[in-house]
Amino acid sequence: MTRIAVALLVWLGLALLVSMHAFVHASAPVVAGTVWGLTAAALLAWWRIPAVRARIDTLPLAALVAIHLCRFVGLYFLSLGRAGKLPPEFAVPAGVGDVVVAMGAVLLLIFPALRERRAVLFGWNVIGLLDIVLVVCNALRCGLRDWASMAPLRELPLALLPTFIVPLIIVSHGLIFARLRLRSGSIMPLVCLSLVAAMNSAAAKGEPIRYAVIGDSYSNGEGATPGESWPSLLTRDLKAKGIEVELVSNPSITGWTSQQAIDRELPEFIKAKPNFGTLLIGVNDWVQGASEDKFRRNFVFLVDEMLKVLKEKNRLLIVTIPDFGVTPDGPRFGRGRDISQGLARFNEIIAEESRKRDLRVVDIFPLSKQAKNDQSLVGPDGLHPSAKQYAEWERIILPVALEMLKIAQ
């Protein structure tokens, strides 16, 4: 019992480390793969290692049932759904299902006689397993559709769900089936069926266009919300126009330069395996005093590496840098320099290098200047765009992306 507790604490510690440092930018398939990989590893350890099995089999049945009290987290899902921080199509079924299963666990713990009734325990266990498998599948589906909308599941405390709690829940279901004196060999086909169900659910949706983003604050919706960022709006509107597209990765971070995009975002872009991408980068290079030559080198490297992943040139869309100098707080970042002139020169570099590669470029620079006379286009911080301005950008980006993807499809 003590060794089991130590093993769980070690697992929890590792899950915390991963959640704090590596999980926030994970794509939807990585999150789902983490769940199934950890589940498979734990069940295989129980199935194939006699010492592990001997210790786990000493756990009382009540302990396995008690694990499911954590499924009252469904109430938090419902709260996040009402607040618009999780998509309702995920939050509602996940929240309701988890709460129902958790309430069943409470009854089984309060009334030991219910646990002794094989049919009752079996029925609760089947419902609980089906619910958690559907939750994982639905999270994958929503994450593929709009990566940014599922951000709470990649951040603490909810990041502990895919890295620790959900695999533990699924494993406990398997162990309960074993306690019900099903043949030991039957548990692995059961897990396999769950895995197949998850993969079939994702495959049924399909992902013919996998969209990934490299950028900075202008691509993550700074000044508004992630759901109001232009990549999220673009994904939504492309779907409405009949393009089957999923936003699989958008690790854009406020303040990052092209060098940080190379070091931190490009690996995520490569891992996401997209077949459509957008690039909007460079404002922080200029703010931090990067030379034109350095920016050109970094921009060229980013574009060429992205094209290696995308394979087809007509799948990479370039967006120019907007003019933040017209915002109320913008001038203090110029440090005496002409912001509009400096950014215009960087945009010339972007246009030049894009033309060499026959890439499509959407120029939002002139549009961004409207914020000088329209404060509704500026976010609460007085520097970044408002949701209204992001929507204006997306309005001119959409037809170009639509043309590119229709040709591609």
- pLDDT at position 1: 53
Instruction: Classify 187 as helix, strand or coil.
Output: helix
Cβ 188 vs Cβ 26: under 8 Å:
no
Structure token digits, residue 62: 């009540």
Distance CA 44, CA 52 (A): 10
Cis peptide leading into residue 93 (ω within 30°) = no
What local confidence, expressed as pLDDT, does residue 391 receive? 96
Give the list of residues 6+ apart from residue 89 with CB closer than 8 angstroms, or none. Answer: 138, 142
* Mean pLDDT, residues 31-49: 90
Largest Cα separation within the chain, whole Å, is 78
Predicted pLDDT of residue 184: 42
Structure-model confidence comparison of residues 325 and 241, the more confident one: 325
pLDDT at 182: 52
Output 65 or 22, whichever has higher pLDDT: 65
What's the rounded Cα separation, in Å, for the pair 296 and 193? 51
pLDDT at residue 183 in the model = 43
Domain edges within the chain: 2-8+24-205, 209-408
> Which residues have CB under 8 Å from 187's CB, separation 6+?
43, 47, 174, 177, 178
Vertex 16, ends 12 and 18: CA angle to 5°? 115
Cα separation, 173 vs 183, in Å, equals 15
Mean pLDDT, residues 122-127 taken together: 94
Query: End-to-end CA distance of the chain, in Å?
Result: 57
Q: Say whether pLDDT at 329 is over 70.
A: yes
Lowest mean pLDDT, pick from 123-127, 196-200, 283-287, 355-359: 196-200
Residue 189: pLDDT above 60? no
Whether 141 shows a pLDDT value over 70: the answer reads yes
Rounded to 5 degrees, φ, ψ at 64 are -65, -40
**Which of the four CATH numbers 3.30.1180.10, 3.40.50.1110, 2.160.20.60, 3.30.300.180 does domain 209-408 have?**
3.40.50.1110
Q: How confident is the model over 260-309, as pLDDT tens digits?
A: 999 999 999 999 999 999 999 999 999 999 999 999 999 999 999 999 99
Long-range CB contact pairs, 105-109, < 8 A, 24+: 105/65, 105/66, 105/68, 105/69, 105/71, 106/69, 108/62, 108/65, 109/62, 109/65, 109/66, 109/69
Confidence of residue 206 (pLDDT cuts 50, 70, 90): very low
Quote the tokens at residue 230.
Answer: 């232009």
Does the structure show a pLDDT above 80 at 154?
yes
Distances (CA, A) of 298 to 11, 294, 303, 346: 39, 6, 9, 12
264 near 270, Cβ under 8 Å? no
d(CA 213, CA 202) in angstroms, rounded, equals 21
Asked if residues 191 and 43 have their Cβ atoms less than 8 Å apart, the reply is yes
Return the pLDDT at 409: 43
Per-residue b or e along 96-124, where b marks 16 or more CB atoms closer than 10 Å to that residue's CB: ebbbbbbebbeebbeeeeebeeeebbeeb
Amino acid at 358: D
DSSP letter for 321, please: P
pLDDT over 50 at 200, yes or no: no
Q: What is the dihedral of CA 15, 17, 18, 24, to 10 degrees?
A: 120
